[in-house]
Structures are given as structure tokens and as C-alpha cells.
Amino acid sequence: MKKTTAIAAALALLGVCVAHAAGDAAAGQKKYSVCAGCHGPTGAGNEVLKYPKLAGLEAAYVREQLRAYQSGARVNATMKAMTAGLNDKDIDNLTAYIVTLK
């Protein structure tokens, strides 16, 4: 009985950590409204205007690219401007939403 409780507690704690690491998709969706102008509401991108497709990208990749644009490690003036006002939480939230795009 005690063991079961301990396992349940550990799993609950793990759930909280995973949820935190994954970000808040609902908050990310709100932030995404500005991104949708180029990448499209479903993340399909725009081949003609060379806006990359975001749907189907991995979370770790999306997070890494956003941080890289922000720091200048990945050079693109548009995306540098788009990420300039984002904090780590915004990036996690946006990532959580973007990975839901199909």
C-alpha cells in the first residue's frame, strides 16, 4: 500500500515536470497568431514566399531554432525580430503549440 502511494506520488511529480518542460500549448497558440501570418494557421508554411513549414517538426528542434534565431547563432533578420521579444517560457509554449500542428 505504502509502496503504491510512493509510486503514485513519483509519477504525479514526473507528470508535473514533463508538463512544465513541454510548455503550455494554449498559451503558445495565442502567441502563434503573429507567426501564422507567414507560417500559416496550420503551420503549412508558404512555398512561394519561402516561409518554412512548421507542422511535423520535433519539439527539441523547434525550441533550438527559436533560441538560435534569438541569440543570432542561426542568422535570419526576420526570425531574429520575431523571437526578440520572447522569453524562455514563451518559446516553450510556442514549441508546445507548434508540435500539435499537423
In the complex, the residues that contact ligand HEC under the rule CB under 6 A are 34-35, 37-39, 50-52, 54, 62, 65-66, 74, 76, 78-79, 82, 94
Residue 13 beta carbon to ligand HEC: minimum distance, rounded to whole angstroms = 30
Angle at 19 between CA 79 and CA 101, to 5 degrees: 45
The C-alpha cell that represents 20 in the structure block: 512544465
Query: Measured at CB, which residue is nearest to ligand HEC?
Result: 35
Residue 54 beta carbon to ligand HEC: minimum distance, rounded to whole angstroms = 6
Residue 75 beta carbon to ligand HEC: minimum distance, rounded to whole angstroms = 7
| Contacts of 97 by beta carbon, 8 Å cutoff, 6+ apart | 23, 25, 26, 27, 28, 29, 31, 32
